[in-house]
C-alpha cells in the first residue's frame, strides 16, 4: 500500500477525530431523551491500484444510529484511492493527464424524528490528484422552517468563515443556495448554509478553515436539536416531514456530487446511500 504523505495523514486523522466527537455528542442527546440508542460502526476495506499499478488505500468506517431523537443518522469517514475512469477523470481537476487520486473526508446526514428538529447535512473532504484541494459545507433542511434556527445556523457558519476570509460567507452561502436547488421542482432543498469546493494551493489556511467548519457544525447543530426535540407535533406535521424527505431523496439521487463521486469510484454502497431517510412520502 502506498504510504500516506503528511497532508493526507493529517486530514484523515482530523476527519476521524471529528467523527468521534460528533457521534459522542449525538449519543449524549439520546441519553438526555431517555434513549439508550448508540452508533453501530461498520468498517469496510477496498484495495485498488493507481495508474502505475501501486496498491492504494481504500476503506473507511460507516457509523449509523437509529434512536428516539435521531430517527436515522449516519456519520461516515472514508479514505479511498485508485485511478479515475478516463471519462470521469476529464471532469476532475488535475486528473486529465494522470488519473490517480486520493480522497478522504467525513460525511454526515441526520434525519430527525420530531418534525420541528431540522434534518442536516455536513461534509468536508480533501482530494488529491496532481492538484490538491478542500471542499465541503453544511446546510440545514427543516420540514417546518423556523426563523430562529435558520438565523442561528447561518450566524455560526458566518462567524467561522469571517475568521478566515471576509469573502467566504457571501461566496459560499450563495454557492449553497445555487447548489442545493431542485430545478425540476424550482424549490430549494432546505434553508441553506455554505458550500465550497476546490480550495487549493494553500494547505495550512484551507485546512484550518475546513476544521473550523466542522467545529461550527458541532457547536450549533446540537443546540438546535436540544431546543426543538421535545416540542409537540401533530400528525399533519409528521406528514409534512415525510413529504419533505421525498425532496431530499430526489436531490441526493439526482444531483448530489458526493453520491455521484462515491458511485463512480467504487465506494461502499451502504455508506454512500446512508443519506437516504428511513421513511419518506410522495403525495
Please, which residues bridge with residue 200 across strands? Answer: 133
DSSP state of 2: P
What are 186-241's pLDDT values in tens digits? 999 999 999 999 999 999 999 999 999 999 999 999 999 999 999 999 999 999 99
**Catalytic residue, candidates 121, 184, 202, 206:** 121
Q: What is the torsional sign of CA 242, 246, 251, 253? A: positive
**Residue range 87-96: mean pLDDT, rounded:** 80
| In the block, residue with C-alpha cell 480533501 | 126
Residue extents of the structural domains in the chain: 6-275
Each residue's pLDDT tens digit, 12-56: 999 999 999 999 999 999 999 999 999 999 998 766 555 555 555
Which residues have CB under 8 Å from 224's CB, separation 6+? 117, 118, 140, 149, 152, 153
Residue 81: per-residue pLDDT: 85
| CA 267/CA 79 separation, integer angstroms | 10
pLDDT digits (tens, 9 = 90+) for 235-282: 999 999 999 999 999 999 999 887 887 777 666 788 888 899 999 999
pLDDT at 97: 80
Is 164 catalytic? The answer is no
Q: DSSP code of 265?
A: T
- Give domain 6-275's CATH superfamily: Coproporphyrinogen III oxidase, aerobic (3.40.1500.10)
* Residue 153 · residue 160 · CB < 8 Å: no
Model pLDDT, residue 103: 92
Question: What is the predicted pLDDT for the residue at 11?
Answer: 98
Q: What is the pTM of this model?
A: 0.91
- Report the pLDDT value the prediction gives residue 265, as an integer from 0 to 100: 67
Amino acid at each position: 500500500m502506498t504510504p500516506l504523505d503528511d497532508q493526507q495523514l493529517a486530514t484523515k486523522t482530523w476527519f476521524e477525530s471529528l467523527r468521534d466527537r460528533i457521534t459522542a455528542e449525538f449519543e449524549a442527546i439520546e441519553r438526555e431523551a431517555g434513549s439508550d440508542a448508540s452508533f453501530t460502526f461498520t468498517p469496510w476495506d477496498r484495495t485498488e491500484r493507481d495508474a502505475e499499478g501501486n496498491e492504494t488505500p481504500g476503506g473507511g468506517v460507516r457509523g449509523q444510529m437509529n434512536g428516539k431523537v435521531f430517527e436515522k443518522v449516519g456519520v461516515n469517514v472514508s479514505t479511498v484511492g485508485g485511478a479515475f475512469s478516463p471519462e470521469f477523470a476529464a471532469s476532475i481537476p488535475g486528473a486529465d493527464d494522470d488519473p490517480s487520486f486520493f480522497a478522504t473526508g467525513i460525511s454526515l446526514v441526520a434525519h430527525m424524528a420530531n418534525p420541528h428538529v431540522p434534518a442536516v447535512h455536513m461534509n468536508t473532504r480533501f482530494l488529491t490528484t496532481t492538484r490538491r484541494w478542500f471542499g465541503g459545507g453544511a446546510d440545514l433542511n427543516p420540514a417546518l422552517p423556523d426563523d430562529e434556527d435558520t438565523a442561528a445556523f447561518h450566524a455560526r457558519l458566518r462567524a467561522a468563515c469571517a475568521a478566515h476570509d471576509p469573502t467566504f460567507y457571501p461566496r459560499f452561502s450563495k454557492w449553497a443556495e445555487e447548489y442545493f436547488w431542485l430545478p425540476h421542482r424550482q424549490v430549494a432543498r432546505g434553508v441553506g448554509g455554505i458550500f465550497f469546493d476546490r480550495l487549493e494551493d494553500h494547505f495550512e489556511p484551507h485546512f484550518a478553515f475546513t476544521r473550523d467548519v466542522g467545529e461550527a457544525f458541532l457547536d450549533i447543530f446540537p443546540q438546535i436539536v436540544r431546543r426543538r426535540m421535545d416540542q409537540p407535533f401533530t400528525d399533519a406535521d409528521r406528514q409534512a416531514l415525510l413529504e419533505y424527505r421525498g425532496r431530499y431523496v430526489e436531490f441526493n439521487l439526482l444531483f448530489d456530487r458526493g453520491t455521484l463521486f462515491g458511485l463512480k469510484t467504487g465506494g461502499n454502497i451502504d455508506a454512500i446511500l446512508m443519506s437516504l431517510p428511513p421513511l419518506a412520502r410522495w403525495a
